[in-house]
Structure 1
């Protein structure tokens, strides 16, 4: 739910304002009702703006209400300097909305005011049309979602557990740039804290968690070496250690380096990462906590934006393999996929019934369980923040996950690392184009279409939107 301020702009001539004030009020009520029906809270400015002093005072009053977004509503011709003054007094994202009505030229006021804002470099978004049309309502609501995501990102804290993994430049970002551009602080925490705190979890809780996994998963495949009950419990203890760190440091999203120290000498973080990203664990429903493997900062930031837009768990994966015969990518990365993606069900048991816990492969001599499943089919939006000469851009594309008959699924998973989670993705981008300019080995996704929202997020954050295929 967003908290939205609504400022109604009017004509500066008193004799005109007098004749249109009821029309403005009615149009504002209709817009507020639509936003309220969509689940948002609307704060109406006490007065319509019909003078320069009201433009400033009403915008300042709204700014004091701790809003996620402020809407300047143009339902009639509006004096453009009212827009300029109100924008000067407005903090946070700004959306200009206009009715399309030949008798009341709100569209003209929007264009005149918006053009003025362009001249001074004031970032804003625009939406227009008849609120009775679903496409118009969705255009407005997409801007609401984008603004809310941007506002809720600001002031948040990322927990970076460990340093740069295996020489990955794309996993490390400049903390000064993050604060300046996104308003996000970075808390540096050593991986030793996971090892040290893992002993804090009570044996009763750990045993109950292990038994829950053994009962509900499609299989926990102990081999007596790489995966034992003791190693699985160590992974569960690591999950509790992360939960303790998140609570103590007030972390909003996180990343765990893992390799090579933990994966060679302690255990993998696969179980911890999967269930932190899930909307549940063995103790019941919970909020997802975005956690990127390999402490991938830009990956975690991409995921957090997608979470704030959609409310769903966010996928993290390597772009592992391209099956050219099917034009399908195998998105596969050790332990990172939330188990929710196995069936995308609200019922954890349905998801876990498709999840296997396999012994870790030779990359990870410390052992533990790899959380393996095949992502359920469906349409998704894929996105990733990357940097070009130090400047941020966001790669965005549409696509879908596919599954096939059991033999084909098995054969395709075994073509890479069978024991890891997989998602067979058909991307709306030619393979040559994707491989020629995608700026990371990691990619992220959520179900649904969020291209419009991501385009607006980029505009608000000063990021270049870099779309592929239909999202270009």
Structure 2
């Protein structure tokens, strides 16, 4: 959830303020209680703003608490210039909130204040209603979560292991543009560091992790060539190496080029990428770390934003195939589906019981385990930050992951690369529209409908939203 500041506005006439102060405090109490009940942390202004000095000092103190969103609360008529002064002391996102009491003209105060902010070009949002209305509290929460997600990007560091993969322009972003729009720095790290540190990684942990996978996965299918216990441990040591580099460089999210150097001469990064994106590994629960294959920068950025909004692991996949007879898409890419998606369970054993480790396919002569499973069914938000003529847009849609009987699942998976992880998606987008204007080969997904928060995040970032609908 988010940290929300609440600052109440009042009338600047002493005799009026003294008569309405208790009413303001009572309505603020109801608002704060509703927000806290919804799981948010609330930072309250010390007192309602009733003079110029308070208009600067109160919001400045709230801002010092590093709130994600500041709510200017209008329970009564309030002098509009108090809002102007308060906005000057509030650097972050702003929401004007009015009550709907017919006796006290809070709505008038909000409109007067909002119009004044419009005149100076200060971006803000407006809501109105009774704090007892759960829809209003949810709408505030959506804006707060979006603001928190955007704030989490600023000052973060992306670790880019390797360069552009296989000429894939959509995987490479302009670092100046990232810094200007998102506030993100990019740390360039050579893939040799993965190879070098993997050789130095803890052999005991690698062996224990291999045995853990052998116990809990649905199957580890050694073939004596592309997949052996030694190669699987090399993949695990690569995960340990990247985890060490993440800690050393203070990386907030990352991407690994992989192809062709590692996949031809060392090992695939499938185990590394899957378990970085998972909320657990063989050591127990952990924080997810967004890691994009093919060092896809905009893909990783999309995933990081989705992670902050949804609070779950995020799917990374190629838009691999469209089954026109069923109107479903096979979202499939080597390694990138966190094993959590197999059952979306808090229990790793339940997820891993649906996961097979198969020998890598023809494309990857270095070998290793491919993390094979089929994503569990359910409603999804699918999104991708892409660029058109240099400008960012968030391409966004709803969809459903589907599964079928075992025979149908197998037949559909075998039409593409069976050994890789799959998600069968029915998109709320017409195939001809999607294929005509979707701006990348990679797409990302989280469970649930998070479009309102994503729209708000894009509004805060100045990014256009491009939605697909049927």
- Which bracket does the TM-score occupy, shorter chain normalised? over 0.9
C-alpha separation between the residues in 2 aligned to 1:460 and 1:125?
A: 10
C-alpha separation between the residues in 2 aligned to 1:428 and 1:255?
A: 29
Specify the alignment match of 2:120 in structure 1: 120
Specify the alignment match of 2:224 in structure 1: 224
Kept after mapping to 2: 8 A contact 1:124/1:460: no
Correspondence 1:276 to 2:276: yes
Specify the alignment match of 2:378 in structure 1: 378
User: Which is worse superposed, 277-286 or 90-99?
Assistant: 90-99
C-alpha separation between the residues in 1 aligned to 2:121 and 2:293?
A: 37
Specify the alignment match of 1:326 in structure 2: 326
C-alpha separation between the residues in 2 aligned to 1:397 and 1:100?
A: 34
C-alpha separation between the residues in 1 aligned to 2:109 and 2:428?
A: 38
Specify the alignment match of 1:455 in structure 2: 455
Q: How far off is 1:150 after superposition? A: 1.0
SS state at 2:43 partner: strand
C-alpha separation between the residues in 2 aligned to 1:260 and 1:206?
A: 24
Q: How far off is 1:200 after superposition? A: 2.1
Kept after mapping to 2: 8 A contact 1:158/1:253: yes
1:386-425 matched pairs, under 5 angstroms: 386-425=386-425
SS state at 1:268 partner: coil
User: Which is worse superposed, 106-115 or 148-157?
Assistant: 106-115
Give the unaligned 5+ runs of structure 2.
none
User: Which is worse superposed, 379-388 or 8-17?
Assistant: 8-17
Correspondence 1:249 to 2:249: yes
C-alpha separation between the residues in 2 aligned to 1:109 and 1:385?
A: 38
Residue by residue over 1:195-235, the C-alpha shift from the partner in whole angstroms, topping out at 9 and shown as x without a partner, is 00002222111110001101111111111111111111110
Which stretches of structure 1, 4 residues or more, deviate above 3 A after TM superposition?
none
C-alpha separation between the residues in 1 aligned to 2:67 and 2:353?
A: 42
Q: How far off is 1:175 after superposition? A: 1.0
What RMSD over aligned residues (CA atoms) do the two structures have, in Å? 1.2
User: Which is worse superposed, 230-239 or 72-81?
Assistant: 72-81
Kept after mapping to 2: 8 A contact 1:372/1:421: yes
Q: How far off is 1:466 after superposition? A: 1.2
Specify the alignment match of 1:110 in structure 2: 110
Give the unaligned 5+ runs of structure 1.
none
SS state at 1:334 partner: coil
C-alpha separation between the residues in 1 aligned to 2:93 and 2:11?
A: 24
Give the TM-score normalised by structure 1: 0.97
State how many pairs are aligned: 470
Q: How far off is 1:242 after superposition? A: 0.6
Kept after mapping to 2: 8 A contact 1:123/1:459: no
User: Which is worse superposed, 105-114 or 401-410?
Assistant: 105-114
Kept after mapping to 2: 8 A contact 1:70/1:93: yes
C-alpha separation between the residues in 1 aligned to 2:392 and 2:121?
A: 19
Kept after mapping to 2: 8 A contact 1:274/1:337: yes
Give the TM-score normalised by structure 2: 0.98
Q: How far off is 1:126 after superposition? A: 2.5
